[in-house]
Amino acid sequence: MDQHEHYESNELIDRLPDHLKQFIKPQHYADYSPVDQAVWRYVMRKNVQYLARVAHASYLDGLKQTGIEIDRIPSMYGMNRILKEIGWAAVAVDGFIPPNAFMEFQAHKVLVIASDIRQVQNLEYTPAPDIIHEAAGHAPIIANPDYAEYLRRLGAIGAKAILSRYDIDLYEAVRKLSILKEAKGVDPAEIREAEEEVARLQHTEVEPSEMAQIRNLQWWTVEYGLIGDLENPRIYGAGLLSSIGESKSCMRPEVKKIPYSLEAAKQGFDITQTQPQLYVTPDFAYLMEVLESFANGLSLRKGGARGIQKLVDSGRVGTIELNTGLQVSGQFTRTILNEDREVIFFQTEGPTALAYREQELIGHGISRHANGFCSPLGRLKNINLAIEDMGPYDLKAYNFHDGKHLSFAFESGINVEGLNITGIRNIQGKLMLIELRDCTVTYRDEVLFEPSRGTFCMAVGSEIVSAYAGAADHRSFPNLYAVSKTVTRKTSRSPATLELEEKYRQVRVVRESAGKDDNRLREIFEWVERKAPEEWLLLLELFEGAREDALRNELHRFMEALALKRPDLATLIREGLDRVERSAGQAV
């Protein structure tokens, strides 16, 4: 993050690792235009009215608890003052961020909120993450403690799910499309090209990675989840809560309702289309049950050759943990397996760090292992006792003395020769690292390590018990996640746009004043008729602010005519009119 960009912080945000803080941006609340405020207000008023009937009970309660107003875009500062009461925080980011980073924020109980807001033409739905989706969709539900704990656990597990190179390509393509969709003045051909790239990737047949499966679970629960009875479910997913179109259409019989299960991890989705099926969980506790079943099948809990191979295929920083507790973090590039498909040798390239219990071992960070790390694994040939289980007496018996030249062979056929310098044990007293100088490691006719590469640090362990994305100690890799080169497009406002925004501002001032000024509203209406006759949201704001029946009737007729002329706007216009009229009737 640019050192000149400042954001409001608190204890939860302060505790975030640096590789997450780089994504945090200031909200720049003053940049929200009067049009943006009108968009927020329209969506929120419509949603709250409708969602009171179909959303989970936690939603409306959560709106109050999280400090989200219906009439104004929330500020991060205001939200955080209230969110801290339930142990969470919120930060602003620039659109989509890398999948593991998003999950890791969640694991730290920090909501990631894209602070931009959708344009009027994308009012019903946008593929881009925006403050309506994040603040009005996600934040209220976390006031429910069972759901909040599910969200945290999903983040903790998802942060360590292994990605594929395909996942990164898809993330970058979706990020680009979402930015183009919400940017003003973009060539439609450029948007079509971005849509085609997303479609191409989404229809590419690939084995879903662990992250892809976690992303599916997130989508069918956190984003598009239904809860309760299969025949009459309630909405809790943020994607539905923040979409004034799909929150209604999802309840139709043609949208298939499926009991939530582990199968959801295999069900992909298309972010550019409404969902043809949705999953219904009986309660929030069941989400946790399914998540734990899913996590039991991940490399995080299974390790082994399959886990480390996923790290090799990902091409990104990952971690393996051995049965001794030693954790090796780096970009894994090679493994050698025996006939039983067990890892007998592994190698990383580039900066690598060693850790134990998520704490980097002193002297074994990326500066020490800047050019990679490699080690054999397994048991020694003709010796029944595992290396890690050798105590001082055993080491002496097998000539493993400090300062003594060693030569030993593994059952795998890997041979090690060198001068023993020292060893490191874990808190149970098991050896987990041996350092040798002037060392040569060979396997068959290949030299795996030679003295010219410096001191050989040999990891001690017979099996890989865990493999996961990211670093064991987050401090080892301050630049763990690369920030996307596709940046949000900010365009300067034209004189015509500024003039339009000023009209929105004036209408708001009149509407919120004690004495309504219909003369001023009529002047603005006449301006709209001349210069912006299809600016339906401004017309609706005028209609709401007007007191005189004559002006209201003129506005009503004008908007009905616009609805006939523009069928694509008809539902938005008529539902807006209906809502204002019912609100006026209730006030009377």
Residue bearing the bigger pLDDT, 246 or 211: 211
- Residue 223 is classified by DSSP as I
User: What is the average pLDDT across 323-328?
Assistant: 97
Amino acid at 367: S
* pLDDT tier at 1, thresholds 50, 70, 90: very low
pLDDT in the model for residue 283: 96
Q: Report the Cα 189 to chain-centroid distance in Å.
A: 29
Give pLDDT tens digits for 142-174: 889 999 999 999 999 999 999 998 988 988 898
Burial of 512 (0-12, 13-18, 19+ CB in 10 A): exposed
User: What is the average pLDDT across 8-15?
Assistant: 84
The token pair at 269 is 């989705």
The residues pairing with 422 across neighbouring beta strands, listed in sequence order, are 435
In this model, does residue 538 exceed pLDDT 90? yes
Q: What mean pLDDT, rounded, does the chain reach?
A: 89
Q: What is the pTM of this model?
A: 0.86
Give pLDDT tens digits for 118-142: 888 878 776 667 888 877 788 888 8
- The percent of residues above 90 in pLDDT, for the chain, comes to 59
**In terms of Cα–Cα distance, which of 436, 428, 584, 416 is closest to 511?**
584
Residue bearing the bigger pLDDT, 124 or 558: 558
End-to-end, the C-alpha distance of the chain in Å comes to 52
pLDDT in the model for residue 77: 84
Cα distance between residue 464 and residue 186, in whole Å: 50
In this model, does residue 396 exceed pLDDT 80? no
For tokens 């040939």, name the residue: 381
Cα distance between residue 244 and residue 54, in whole Å: 12
**In terms of Cα–Cα distance, which of 437, 324, 457, 441 is closest to 390?**
324
Could you tell me if 96 and 116 are in contact, meaning their C-beta atoms sit under 8 angstroms apart?
no
3 state SS of 112? strand
pLDDT in the model for residue 587: 47
Give pLDDT tens digits for 217-259: 999 999 999 999 999 999 999 888 888 778 888 999 999 999 9
Give pLDDT tens digits for 252-294: 999 999 999 999 999 988 877 889 999 999 999 999 999 999 9
pLDDT in the model for residue 564: 96
In this model, does residue 423 exceed pLDDT 90? no
Average the pLDDT over each of 14-18, 343-347, 399-403 and give the range with the smallest value.
399-403
* pLDDT tier at 46, thresholds 50, 70, 90: confident
Cα distance between residue 182 and residue 100, in whole Å: 24
pLDDT in the model for residue 4: 39
Per DSSP, the residues of 9-29 read --HHHHTS-HHHHTT-B---G
The token pair at 366 is 């990326």
The token pair at 523 is 């002047």
pLDDT in the model for residue 489: 67
Could you tell me if 567 and 549 are in contact, meaning their C-beta atoms sit under 8 angstroms apart?
no
Count of Cβ atoms closer than 10 Å to residue 330 Cβ: 26
pLDDT in the model for residue 2: 46
In this model, does residue 360 exceed pLDDT 60? yes
- The percent of residues above 70 in pLDDT, for the chain, comes to 96
pLDDT in the model for residue 143: 85
Residue bearing the bigger pLDDT, 398 or 59: 59
pLDDT in the model for residue 588: 36
- Cα Rg of the chain, angstroms: 29
